[in-house]
Amino acid sequence: MDYWIKNERGQSQFKGGRQDWVEAADIAGSCPEFLLDHEDELVAEEETSCYNCRFRRWTERTFICVKC
Amino acid sequence: MKIYVAIDDTDNINEGATGDSANQIIKLIEKNHWGSCQGLTRHQLLLHPDIPYTSHNSSMCFIADIEAGYLELLIEEASGFLERESAPGSDPGLCVAVEEQVKNLASLIHFGYETKNRVITKEEAYELAGKLGVHLSEHGGTGLGVIGALAGVGLRMTNNDGRFQGKLKLKMPGAIISVAEIISSSPTESVQSLTGHVLGENEEVRLGEKLKTVLLNGKRTFLVYRQEGRSEWETCTNAQLKDY
């Protein structure tokens, strides 16, 4: 399944929004680029999650992966 | 004198963390005996495609009580630190406000809230800082961090915004602990539910994995919740705290 959509700037935006905890953990679990962000910025309980990754850039409704 | 110190934009996508930089400035103040500092808070600003933040657009602020004679030295040393130690490509900004000298606290607080709602320019930040008599300076790159730095002070002054940096160290996850013990053995000042109920000293809380506090009603507040159908209080998860 493709979890990403290109936004108007050509960036890879997560389709699952800000609360798709299962998918975000699933993707991060097999992502070679995953890097845990600073403790203050962690939002997911499962540590290995796109939501906790240093390379996600939050938007109002979801996030952009700067490594995709 | 009571001062507010805020910084922003000291990291890049690969390295640095603004919270760590702020902690270094706290250490600088305390190591030199210029004064004492209170907890560091993280303040969320607007997420917008036109704002060049690294990943989350937040700024960090702390309060310090210092001898007036050290103010200029503090600003000078903090500025030098940001210039030397900020990550390559970052745009650091520093704001230092002496509470009793700020000409209009309400407009500084208003600016803080504005940065959550619209894209603000560097020029607007400098103009307001000049009017209010607040120190605002940039220390590399585009210097856009001045916007978040000024906002960080304004939001801290609301007494109702931001999460405190770091985790509380109490007992192991799963342990049940009284409110009185939480307050006596950590910097927590109040234990409150997500719906606003302030817990009494004898009430008990089951501890979770990560114990974080937020700034509410001017107090360092430990937030808890009750699962449906259960009587015991539990500590909030990261997901529950992400909007603070």
Q: What is the pLDDT of residues B57-113, one digit of tens each?
A: 999 999 999 999 999 999 999 999 999 999 999 999 999 999 999 999 999 999 999
pLDDT at B233 over 70: yes
Q: What residues in A contact B53, CB-CB < 8 Å? A: 57
* pLDDT for the residue numbered A1: 62
pLDDT at A65 over 80: yes
Closest by Cα among B43, B45, B47 to B60 = B43
Q: Predicted confidence band at B32 (pLDDT cuts at 50, 70, 90)?
A: very high
Does residue B188 share a domain with residue B86?
no
Q: Predicted confidence band at B230 (pLDDT cuts at 50, 70, 90)?
A: confident
CA distances from residue B210 to A45, B2, B68, B224 in whole angstroms, order as listed: 9, 31, 38, 12
Does residue B26 share a domain with residue B42?
yes
Beta carbons of A27 and A3 less than 8 angstroms apart? yes
Does residue B37 share a domain with residue B156?
yes
> Where does a domain end: B163, B185, B205?
B163
Q: Give the distance from residue B170's alpha carbon to the nearest chain A alpha carbon, in angstroms.
A: 17
Q: Is the entire prediction scored with pTM above 0.90?
A: yes
Q: What residues in A contact B48, CB-CB < 8 Å? A: 60
* Gyration radius (Cα) of chain A, Å: 11
Does residue B31 share a domain with residue B112?
yes
* pLDDT for the residue numbered B69: 97
- Mean pLDDT along residues B133-161: 98
Q: Give the domain range for residue B63.
A: 2-163
Beta carbons of A43 and A66 less than 8 angstroms apart? no
Q: What residues in A contact B20, CB-CB < 8 Å? A: 38
Q: Predicted confidence band at B243 (pLDDT cuts at 50, 70, 90)?
A: confident
What is the C-alpha separation between B134 and B41, in angstroms, rounded?
A: 19
What is the C-alpha separation between B98 and B136, in angstroms, rounded?
A: 12
Please judge whether B13 and A66 are an interchain contact, meaning their C-beta atoms are less than 8 angstroms apart. yes
- The residues pairing with B64 across neighbouring beta strands, listed in sequence order, are B3, B37
Q: Given CB atoms, is B119 within the 8 Å cutoff of chain A?
A: no
A39 to chain B: closest CA residue: B166
Q: What residues in A contact B55, CB-CB < 8 Å? A: 37, 41, 54-58, 66
- Mean pLDDT along residues B198-216: 95
Does residue B174 share a domain with residue B117?
no
> Where does a domain end: B147, B163, B179?
B163
Block residue for tokens 């000024």: B150
Q: Give the distance from residue A5's alpha carbon to the nearest chain B alpha carbon, in angstroms.
A: 16
* Model-level ipTM above the cut of 0.85: yes
Taking the alpha carbons at both ends of chain A, their separation in whole angstroms is 15
| H/E element, B193 | strand B190-193
CB half-sphere exposure, B18, CA atoms < 13 A? 33
Q: Give the distance from residue B55's alpha carbon to the nearest chain A alpha carbon, in angstroms.
A: 4
